[in-house]
Amino acid sequence: MRPSWLSFLVAFGFVVCWSSGFVGGRLATEAETPVLALFAWRFLLASLLVGLWWRWRWSGPLAHRDVLREMAVGSLTMGGYLLGVILAIEQGVSTGVTALITALQPLLAAALAGRWLGERLAPRGWVGMMVAMLGVVVYVVDDIEHGGSAPLWAYVLPLGSVVAVTLGSLLSVRWATTMPLSATLATQLLAATGIFTLAALIDGRGALPFPNGPLSITAIGWLVVLSSLGGYGFFVASLRRFGVTPTSALVYLTPAVTLLWAAAMFGERPSIQGIVGMGIAIAGAGLAMRGALCSDPIPLCKGHC
């Protein structure tokens, strides 16, 4: 497969599967099982599946330092990130708004990556990110003004997710362990299992009920296959192939895909102002991506930069 096509498939898979996590979170909040307990079991099942894949494909020893580093990354990019997302949705923040707020991550990632990793973003990339941020603000204000049921403080929870996934992304690239992808995913998923197990035990006062009921089983299947294996598999692959800044720029495309999921499955439809905000965010994302991805050794926009 030509490198340019492989780059496109990695980027496309990341956007689609990453957006599925927000929909899976909404499904989980409607399931029979408490949402934090469901996520703990989800991550445990995913880590076991990926662990078996790792042992089947590659059974060599792992350096203890690499394992600890990947666990720290997983605690942030999976555990901390999704904990903020799920709590926000549980408090009534809509799926689309949650996805759009977390799409502010590229701004923080680009600001830190330049200093920490030497990944420089072109001026047009910064302009695009600022335009996208304006679109996020328009969308969130529209949600608040048109009957959003969430308290104002709940909109801060996705911002905590932004900080967590950005720090995790930076650490992942800075440490750059030599672990195979399967071992990396298994380790990170296991770390997220610990985060959500602790949160579920606190929320359930020591109880961790096993998922039961059709909605719980559906949510578990959706989250394990699309969000855990697909989303984080493509996330790690994208970080390794493109770096922090281009991967973060791709995040700007996930709210539009999430909005399509949410409209089809839950009937969440924004007003005209919300659609305008989403359009502004997407336009800014396109500009930001040209500034970020065209600087990649194997750019997606090859020949058009």
Domains held by the chain: number: 1
| Residue 299 maps to a domain | no
| Residue 264 maps to a domain | yes
Residue 62's alpha-carbon distances to 2, 47, 97, 173, 275, in angstroms, are 31, 16, 40, 18, 48
The two structure tokens encoding residue 53: 């894949």
| Residue 300 maps to a domain | no
The span from the CA of 128 to the CA of 218, in Å, is 38
The span from the CA of 210 to the CA of 42, in Å, is 10
Structural domain that includes position 265:
3-293
CB 16 within 8 A of CB 253: no
Averaged over 21-40, what is the pLDDT? 89
What are 73-117's pLDDT values in tens digits? 999 989 999 999 999 988 888 887 888 788 777 677 666 766 665
| Residue 305 maps to a domain | no
Which pLDDT value is given to residue 298? 38
| Residue 206 maps to a domain | yes
CA 131 to chain centre: 21
| Residue 192 maps to a domain | yes
**pTM of this prediction?**
0.77
Which pLDDT value is given to residue 83? 94
| Residue 153 maps to a domain | yes
Question: At a CB cut-off of 8 Å and minimum separation 6, what does 2 contact?
Answer: none
What are 266-275's pLDDT values in tens digits? 877 777 777 7
Which amino acid would we find at residue 85? V
Single out the residue of 217, 242, 271, 225 nearest to residue 16, CA to CA.
225
The span from the CA of 246 to the CA of 288, in Å, is 9
CB 39 within 8 A of CB 82: yes
What are 38-60's pLDDT values in tens digits? 999 999 999 999 888 888 877 67
| Residue 60 maps to a domain | yes
Single out the residue of 239, 279, 221, 185 nearest to residue 14, CA to CA.
239
Which pLDDT value is given to residue 232? 78
